[in-house]
Amino acid sequence: MVKLGVKDLAISYGNETILEGVNFDIQEHEIFGIIGPANAGKTSFLKAVNRMDLFNTDMQVDGDITFNGVNVQKVRNVYGLRRRIGVVFPLPVGLPLSIYDNVALAPRLAGQKDRAELDVIVERCLTRAALWDEVKDRLNSLGSMLSGGQQQRLTIARALSQDPELLMLDEFSIAVDPVTTMRIEDVLKELRDELTIILVTNLVQQARRLADRTAFFLGGRCVEVGVTEDLFTGEVKDTRTRDYVDGRFG
């Protein structure tokens, strides 16, 4: 089943087009990697998916993005859409609330008031984000006071607490140490059974480890979409893809 359909997508800021000609379908229970150098339009793509374009009046999105077959540009209640899509930003944003409240925020927004239920959700999400053991004794201290790596795992826990159908990770490992990165990667592999994941990453090896299929964005174009292993074994339509994954530029 197609979870997210992208057809003739073009994104521009003012007169400057920063991404165009994007066409692919992301299947349910798939980890879909997006690789590419800086300014390739990767983050803008994620913003278009959960309608974060509304923050920036300059940002113009053309073409169709469908989530469960529904065109996201025509959704009336964007809050309802966003609640089903979890996002992890590159730089961790621990909200200035307690660790507990950070993770309980999304369930509370969705109307969950039962403390026992919330306790279960908070523990489960923090455990999955590989943070529970470090914070279980101080759930009431401020989330914004955690270290950078811990905050990043907190944002992952927060995204999971939404119980999303689609999880979008934007270079989540920038602020996380390698050991923790591997732990989170293991969790992502497990999560594939429950949800669909879009993994934007600068680390091509991370895409190789995790993604079933990978798209290569370059200079505002989607140059290549294919089975991840093909991209790394040279089965590519565009030679620039091979050059990039081999580390010859970018």
Partner 1 sequence: MSEKMAQTAAGAGSDFDRLTLDWYIDKLVQALVFIGGISAIVFIIGIFVFISREGFGFLLGEFNFKEFFFSPNWRPTSETKETFGILALVAGTASVTGLAMLIAIPFSLGAAIFIAEFASGKTREFLKITVELLAAIPSVVWGFIGLAIMNPIIIETFDVPVGLNVLNAGVILGLMAAPIMTSIAEDALNAVPDPYREAAEAMGATRWQVIYKVVLPAAKNGLLGAVLLGVGRGFGETMAVLMATGHSINIPTSVFDSVRALTATIAAELGETAAGSPHYQALFTIGIFLFVITFIINLAADLVVRGVKKG
Q: Which residues contact 112 (CB under 8 A, 6 or more apart)?
A: 104, 118, 121
> Residue 56 or 71: which CB sits closer to partner 1?
56
> Residue 46 or 204: which CB sits closer to partner 1?
46
CB of 152 within 8 A of CB of 172?
A: yes
CB 56, min distance to partner 1, A: 10
Q: In whole angstroms, what is the distance from residue 114 CA to residue 129 CA?
A: 23
CB 104, min distance to partner 1, A: 11
CB of 66 within 8 A of CB of 48?
A: no
CB 138, min distance to partner 1, A: 13
**Other CB atoms within 10 A of residue 227 CB:** 13
User: 7 by DSSP, 3-state: which?
Assistant: strand
CB 103, min distance to partner 1, A: 11
CB 51, min distance to partner 1, A: 9
Structure tokens at 75: 């959704």
> Residue 65 or 236: which CB sits closer to partner 1?
65
The upper half-sphere exposure of residue 135, i.e. CA atoms within 13 Å in the direction of its Cβ, equals 32
> Residue 110 or 227: which CB sits closer to partner 1?
110
Structure tokens at 67: 């989530």
CB 162, min distance to partner 1, A: 6
> Residue 84 or 242: which CB sits closer to partner 1?
84
Q: In whole angstroms, what is the distance from residue 31 CA to residue 192 CA?
A: 7
The upper half-sphere exposure of residue 37, i.e. CA atoms within 13 Å in the direction of its Cβ, equals 12
> Residue 104 or 245: which CB sits closer to partner 1?
104
Q: Which residues contact partner 1 (rule: CB under 8 A)?
A: 50, 52, 55, 57, 79-84, 86-87, 89, 91, 93, 95-97, 105-106, 108-110, 142, 155, 158-159, 162
Backbone angles phi, psi at 195, to 5 degrees: -145, 180
